[in-house]
Amino acid sequence: GWPGSGGTRGGAAMDLFGDLRRMNKRQLYYQVLNFAMIVSSALMIWKGLIVVTGSESPIVVVLSGSMEPAFHRGDLLFLTNFHDDPIRAGEIVVFKVEGRDIPIVHRVIKVHEKGNGNIKFLTKGDNNEVDDRGLYKEGQNWLEKKDVVGRARGFLPYVGMVTIIMNDYPKFKYALLAVMGAYVLLKRES
Amino acid sequence: LRKNVEDFTGPRERSDLGFVTFDITADILNRKNGLQSFRNKITLIIFDWNVKQLFLYLSAEYSTKNNALNQVVLWDKIMLRGDNPRLSLKDMKSKYFFFDDGNGLKGNRNITLTLSWNVVPNAGILPLVTGSGHVSVPFPDTYETTKSY
């Protein structure tokens, strides 16, 4: 067979190295640009989603079991956060406690809204015995609109598990990135 | 959907605390072909292949001097697909404390109780539906001081 074809000797790994040696600089730059374009497009789509939904984080992963049996750890939630959407009892909101990064997905159980639009509300996880006052900041008894990341409008089960696994097992994350990078760089356009 | 309520307010240091007892009778149905009509205004809630559960809640909505709009969830229940679809609760006490933000419950004649539900699908959109049919509850002008709850 041809030198470097790898065919019956050593299998796929030999093929890869064969490819790398044969690529000249131009092809490499082309592949890198291709890769960069894919990343940019993905980022643009994400930014577009942020604009369209009005939420800083339009897609979130459920991290705890406090909303079971509706949502389980690893489920994916789709949020909107339109400015004119009122906050009403029964809605599922995703909020962040001031000073903390972790978004919490719970249900609104009390709302007090003034005539000028000022709203304060209380939340509770369906699966929790008590309301969320224990989760809020020291001395804070209510949440306000500014704490809201978005309202849950739709959901997909299980899909977010990948994110949780990547978080809990960083080695998995690097391995995944390495595989993706290798695939994109070496993929040939026919 | 029928609700009967009896109520009285109790004093607390700063905010009014309301006590409401209620009955709920509801028939929650599976989708059948065609329409079905009922005597009173019973709202059809549909359990179909994509509905994992319903999150039902009874909320009280009212206005006070302090706040133009107040909503307080008094009671909730999770109904999974396959659970007994008939709700027949009598003389229920509210699950959660009915605190007002201030003293707006005393003498408030217009507190509306509505039953609503959140449809949780197996996958897809999460609608929030309010039942048609609601009950108005007036609170008395005085506080009860001796009732233990």
Are B51 and B123 contacting, i.e. CB atoms less than 8 angstroms apart? no
Rounded mean pLDDT, A56-62: 91
Using the beta-carbon criterion (under 8 Å), do A154 and B59 form an inter-chain contact?
no
Rounded mean pLDDT, B83-111: 68
Using the beta-carbon criterion (under 8 Å), do B78 and A69 form an inter-chain contact?
yes
| Of B30-39, B50-59, B80-89, B131-140, minimum mean pLDDT range | B30-39
Closest CA to B116 of A184, A108, A163: A108
Residue A90 or A182, more confident = A90
Q: How confident is the model at residue A94 (pLDDT cuts 50, 70, 90)?
A: very high
- A59-157 is a CATH 2.10.109.10 domain: yes
| Of A6-20, A100-114, B44-58, minimum mean pLDDT range | A6-20
Active-site annotation holds for A66: yes
Q: Which two tokens stand for residue A139?
A: 């001395």
For residue A141, the chain B residue with the least C-alpha distance is B101
DSSP string computed for A17-84 = HHHHHH--HHHHHHHHHHHHHHHHHHHHHHHHHHHHH--S-SEEE--SSTTTTT--TT-EEEEE--TT
This complex has an ipTM of 0.71
Digit-coded pLDDT (tens) for B3-41:
444 444 444 444 556 655 555 655 554 433 223 332 222
Digit-coded pLDDT (tens) for A104-153:
999 999 999 988 888 999 999 988 888 888 888 888 889 999 999 999 99
Q: How confident is the model at residue B51 (pLDDT cuts 50, 70, 90)?
A: confident
Which residues of chain B does A153 touch, with a Cβ-Cβ cutoff of 8 Å? Answer: 125-126
Active-site annotation holds for A106: yes
Residue B75 or B31, more confident = B75
Q: How confident is the model at residue B89 (pLDDT cuts 50, 70, 90)?
A: low
Residue B47 or A104, more confident = A104
Q: Is the model's pLDDT at A189 over the cut of 80?
A: no
Peptide bond into A69 cis (omega under 30): yes
- The pLDDT value recorded for residue A14 is 64
Using the beta-carbon criterion (under 8 Å), do B72 and A109 form an inter-chain contact?
yes
Three-class SS state of B91 = strand
Using the beta-carbon criterion (under 8 Å), do B53 and A120 form an inter-chain contact?
no
Three-class SS state of A174 = helix
- The pLDDT value recorded for residue B143 is 64
The pLDDT mean for chain A works out to 84
Dihedral sign from CA coordinates of A77, A78, A83, A86: negative
- The pLDDT value recorded for residue B43 is 34
Residue B25 or A55, more confident = A55
Rounded mean pLDDT, A24-42: 86
User: Torsions phi, psi of B143, nearest 5?
Assistant: -90, 150
Q: How confident is the model at residue A76 (pLDDT cuts 50, 70, 90)?
A: very high
Which residues of chain B does A113 touch, with a Cβ-Cβ cutoff of 8 Å? Answer: 67-70
